Structure 1
Amino acid sequence: MPPGLIVLLLSLLLGLQPITTDLYLPALPELTAQLSAPMAQAQLTLTALLLAFGGSQLVWGPLSDRFGRRPILLIGLVAYVLASIASSLAPSMGWLIVWRTLQGAAMGAGVMCARAIVRDLYAPTQGARVMSKGLSGLGVIACLSAPLGGLLTQWLNWRFALLALGVFAAVTLVVVALRFEETVQHKNPQALQLGTLLATWRHILGHPTFLAFSALTACSYSGLFTFLAASSFVFTGVLGLSKMQYGLVMFVNSLAYIGGTFLCRHWLPRFGVRRAVAFAGVLSLTGGTLMALLTLSGWISLWSILLPQLIFMVGHGIHQPCGQSGSVGPFPQAAGAASAMNGILMMVCAFAMGGWLGGHMDGTVLPLTLGVWFWSALIALSAWTLVQKHG
């Protein structure tokens, strides 16, 4: 496959994650009100999706090592399209949670295979640069997701916002079906045997390089998830922004992430992975600390939250490509399983944070700002210790 096609495929597959979480965020307050559901139940439409997304990768990963990436991608994308249609027709919050959970499980196939494909085709350092290009595409999709969700919700209703996810997945399905060529050169016929699975997982979880980069990606994603899960209620409910204004906030947030991925590609050949991650740790901690101190001091406004968040997102744009490619680097023969394990660790941390937010959203900005601060400290700790030693 031409390099440009690989980057396009990575962008679409990785883009399933932000479009699934970001596009419906402007609709979240409206659908919560229309379905007469409590806020804690509304949070489950996001946290249950992410838990299913993480858990499903433990199944998709070994399956893709056994049968190849292509069949897993086709099955997952078809399931995603069907779950999206069902979500848009959900009659209650309970059914919406069910369909969003299935949607998350299907999304796991696409995102897991994207990370594994990078390891199939590239060595770890080159893979980090290619991953950063794919994640730049992810950032573009994330830029468009929240504004589009705001427009669809404002002009039509929240059901059309959820239906748009199925349209995106259908386009991705067509591209995969017509252009994607299998990247697994030697399928592992023993990948699904219980003994092999347990031995593979034990080997992955015991590898210090995997643990170092997985700690980095899990903490970085959890910081982003804290912002995503609480932002619609904070910006529209507490600060009084309109759906369109909130969509613009998310657009700018994604632009900062894209900037981080470009900076990652500039720093990698100059400094290497470990030093690039260390510098990004400074950005993460600076953004999180500044956000918390400004709000604790009583300055609560759009800019007191957004400007520090932009600094945090630049660091996120460096941590994710380095961490995702680094975590699967030591496992060329089990890239699917390693990608899956990295994915589920990220989602378990995000799910736990989502559960905490559901019980602590108190009508103030503090759950968001203090949550991002907490994760920024753990990001810096991982970047400056574990990655430096084992990266």
Structure 2
Amino acid sequence: MNSDTRPLPQFAHAPLLLLIIAFLMMQPLSTDLYLASLPTLSSDFKVPLSTVQLTLSLFVIGFGSAQLVIGPLSDRYGRRPVLLWGLALYAVGSVLCGLAPSIELLILARFLQAVGCCSAVMIARAIVRDAYDPVHSVKVIARASTWLSLAPLLAPILGSYLQVAFGWRAAFAVHTLLSVSLLLLTFLRLPETNLHKNPGATNFAGLSHSFRLVLGSREFWAYALPGALSYGSIFAFISGASIVLIQVLHVPTAYFGYCFAIGVSGYLSGTLVCRRLLSRLGATATFRIGSAISLGAGTLFLAAVLAGFAHWSVMVAAMFLTLSAHGINFPIGQSGAVSPFPRQAGTAAGLMGALSMLVAFIVGSIVGATHNGTLYPLGLVVCALGLSIFAATRLLAPAEAAA
């Protein structure tokens, strides 16, 4: 293992990087595996697409709000017990999703899934801060993100075939198998990494102090806000791609996964570029480059739409560029938002995640509400987010970095 991604000596016996990658993969697998099924859910349950999109929006709300609780809980009681309970909840939610007889129960079960998924993703970020040298944590996140990119790359393809062969319930059977496997692996192999438990992390005074400390830090916002906006830019495609590609651009359901995977391969490319740029230029310069790519991707997408290019290749190219930028921006945003807070790592990771989910919820709601059978609303949303990411990295940069 590269020395930059080797855990501290007391954790060298555990497969931490493998577990971190698996935990982070749960979020894209929870959304991307059933994207090809969204149009079918609408017809099966005889509800409009805006109702079906609540299975994504409520997932985002559950994921985001839970981080405000799970972060402090893991700071007080440790990462391991909170994670075990979260994985168990995810498994229960997955079973309920697969058996749901109505869209209402499916939406509720997705909320439960989200809370469980949140524990895995948020605690994975906190483990990076616990178990690795802070100087190397951004490289750990970047390396994990490279492997993480395989999930959104392969999940839509698998999901498309599952939908065609078995129907929408098959995706949630896969979720169940995944969570039960990770629950067993966590129980057997994950040590407790929080060596500085904070008994006051969950009382009002402790929460208030931690929240003020993190939210009052310019450095937190300098990384968390661009990172959250970057997540919002990819969520625009997560929430809108299947509807636009299948219903507007008439891509067959069986081929949707390939289109989505080509676009998502940009994320893999972005994480590889991120790792190389970090070694050569450092985090600040790399962040500025990633945000410039976000702006370029959004601008080119909107320009192509305004020029009348209504073709699946336009969507795929826009996704590729946007996710390439996200592969650069998000690892830096995650690490930079958490690294300054060794004793509030869970809280900082939770706030970063909650902010990302808030932006994603807003973006998803706008995409669903403005869909009019064309590419124009999606083009406008992605362009506006690219501009916001570009501006945030420059206006919020710490004074020494901006100088």
Band the TM-score falls in, shorter-chain normalisation: over 0.9
Shift in Å at residue 4 of structure 1? Answer: 8.5
Q: Which moved more, 1:111-120 or 1:364-373?
A: 364-373
Could you tell me how far apart the structure 2 residues matched to 1:98 and 1:45 are? 8
What's 1:35 paired with?
Answer: 45
Q: 1:74 aligns with which of 77, 80, 84?
A: 84
The answer to whether the 8 Å contact 2:263/2:318 transfers is: no
The answer to whether the 8 Å contact 2:75/2:201 transfers is: yes
Shift in Å at residue 378 of structure 1? Answer: 0.7
What's 2:3 paired with?
Answer: none
Shift in Å at residue 125 of structure 1? Answer: 3.7
Could you tell me how far apart the structure 2 residues matched to 1:30 and 1:229 are? 15
The answer to whether the 8 Å contact 1:139/1:254 transfers is: yes
What's 2:229 paired with?
Answer: 219
The answer to whether the 8 Å contact 1:291/1:309 transfers is: no
Q: 1:155 aligns with which of 145, 150, 165?
A: 165
Unaligned runs of 5+ in 1: none
The answer to whether the 8 Å contact 1:65/1:184 transfers is: yes
Which amino acid counterpart does residue 267 of structure 1 have in structure 2? L
Corresponding position: 1:272 with 2:287: no
Which amino acid counterpart does residue 281 of structure 1 have in structure 2? S
What's 2:8 paired with?
Answer: none
Q: 1:192 aligns with which of 202, 210, 217?
A: 202
Which amino acid counterpart does residue 218 of structure 1 have in structure 2? A
Corresponding position: 1:258 with 2:243: no
Shift in Å at residue 189 of structure 1? Answer: 1.1
Unaligned runs of 5+ in 2: 1-10
What's 1:55 paired with?
Answer: 65
What's 1:353 paired with?
Answer: 363
Could you tell me how far apart the structure 2 residues matched to 1:341 and 1:335 are? 10
Could you tell me how far apart the structure 2 residues matched to 1:323 and 1:205 are? 15
Alignment of 1:1-391 (within 5 A): 1-2=11-12, 5-387=15-397, 389=399
- Percent of residue pairs identical: 36
Could you tell me how far apart the structure 2 residues matched to 1:290 and 1:101 are? 35
Which amino acid counterpart does residue 55 of structure 1 have in structure 2? S
Which amino acid counterpart does residue 104 of structure 1 have in structure 2? A
Shift in Å at residue 390 of structure 1? Answer: 7.0
Scaled by the length of structure 2, the TM-score of the pair is 0.94
Which amino acid counterpart does residue 185 of structure 2 have in structure 1? V
Which amino acid counterpart does residue 163 of structure 1 have in structure 2? A
Shift in Å at residue 215 of structure 1? Answer: 0.7
Q: Secondary structure at the match of 2:149?
A: helix
Q: Secondary structure at the match of 1:341?
A: helix
Q: Secondary structure at the match of 2:373?
A: coil
The answer to whether the 8 Å contact 1:257/1:316 transfers is: yes
Could you tell me how far apart the structure 1 residues matched to 2:216 and 2:194 are? 24
Deviations 1:27-56 (A, max 9, x none): 111011101111111111001111110000
Deviations 1:328-347 (A, max 9, x none): 11100010001001110111
Shift in Å at residue 144 of structure 1? Answer: 1.4
Shift in Å at residue 269 of structure 1? Answer: 1.6
Could you tell me how far apart the structure 2 residues matched to 1:166 and 1:18 are? 15
Deviations 1:78-115 (A, max 9, x none): 10011001001111111111000111111111111011
Shift in Å at residue 384 of structure 1? Answer: 2.6
RMSD across aligned C-alpha pairs, in angstroms? 1.4
Q: Which moved more, 1:303-312 or 1:258-267?
A: 303-312
Could you tell me how far apart the structure 1 residues matched to 2:314 and 2:262 are? 15
How many residues are treated as equivalent by the alignment? 391
Could you tell me how far apart the structure 2 residues matched to 1:19 and 1:151 are? 15
Could you tell me how far apart the structure 1 residues matched to 2:154 and 2:188 are? 25
Shift in Å at residue 356 of structure 1? Answer: 1.7
Which amino acid counterpart does residue 25 of structure 2 have in structure 1? G
The answer to whether the 8 Å contact 2:63/2:118 transfers is: yes
Inter-CA distance 148–389: structure 2 relative to 1 (3 Å threshold) = farther
What's 2:7 paired with?
Answer: none
